[in-house]
Amino acid sequence: MRAVTVRNMTLGEGIPKIAVPVTEKTVEAAVRAAEEAADCADLIELRADHFEGVADESALLGLLASVRRAVELPILFTVRSMREGGAWDCTEEEYVSVLTAAIGSGQIDLVDIELACGRTASILDKAHKAGIPAVLSQHDFGKTPADECILRDFMAMEELGGDVAKGAYMPQSQEDADRILTLTRKAADRMDILVILIAMGPLGRRTRVEGERWGSALTFASLSGKGSAPGQIDARTMRTLLLKEHAGLAGEQPN
């Protein structure tokens, strides 16, 4: 798999990186949350769908500039549409407009683009022309799709030219969560781009912690009890768990 380097962080090398979502409504609150996250995260996911000024380009650019000044960590810019579990009920045109503004701002390091968007390829082209790696994503808060559906969509993300393929799904059973782990390994072995696969909720805890074992490059963790999806673990606890997992894997290697 190809590693992705932004600022001082490389996805796809060593222990999976920790992203802490910032889901605040105001610039001031977002800056405070980003500064707090800087102590325990590898990157910030700026969830602009929660920002009260998301549809106002001037306000959005002000948010990006303020968070950029506040932290040196890489910023993953995300607008999660309501259809995929986000907080903003936007039209496709609004979604594209916000992503385009963020890509052109010079303030972000990675961008999340939903695979289901009808103009994914166009946004991806803009990101790459600006030198910004893209996470192509898919979310289902109701179920875990069949194996072949997930793998098909991940292959589509690679064919489109995404730098990272991300899927997050809601398991209805422990079997679903275990399937996600197996699928993570299959996707990581078959694909040249990085993979992030997550099972949400309490059943999916292992998928958030065991990424190094199965081939997932990034995990999302909460801070001060503010997560962006069900089942996110506290970021400081996550760091401890990832280090423990890494040590365990190292101990499993033959001499």
CB atoms within 10 A of CB 82: 11
Catalytic choice (128, 166, 186, 246): 166
Amino acid letter for position 230: P
SS3 109: coil
Of all residues in the chain, what percent are helix, strand and coil, respectively (each to 5)? 45, 20, 35
Q: What is the spatial distance between Cα 134 and Cα 76, in angstroms, rounded to a whole number? A: 9
Q: What is the spatial distance between Cα 161 and Cα 185, in angstroms, rounded to a whole number? A: 20
Please provide the DSSP assignment of 75-91 as one string: EEEE--BGGGT-SB---
Contacts 24+ apart (CB under 8 A), 128-134: 128/161, 130/103, 130/104, 132/103, 132/108, 133/4, 133/6, 133/109, 133/163, 133/164, 134/110, 134/161, 134/162, 134/163, 134/164
Four-residue CA torsion sign, 150, 155, 159, 164: positive
Who contacts 155 (Cβ-Cβ below 8 Å, separation ≥6)?
190, 191
Catalytic choice (17, 50, 126, 139): 139
Q: What is the spatial distance between Cα 226 and Cα 84, in angstroms, rounded to a whole number? A: 18
- In the block, tokens 């506040």 appear at 70
50 in catalytic set: no
226 in catalytic set: no
Catalytic residues: 139, 166
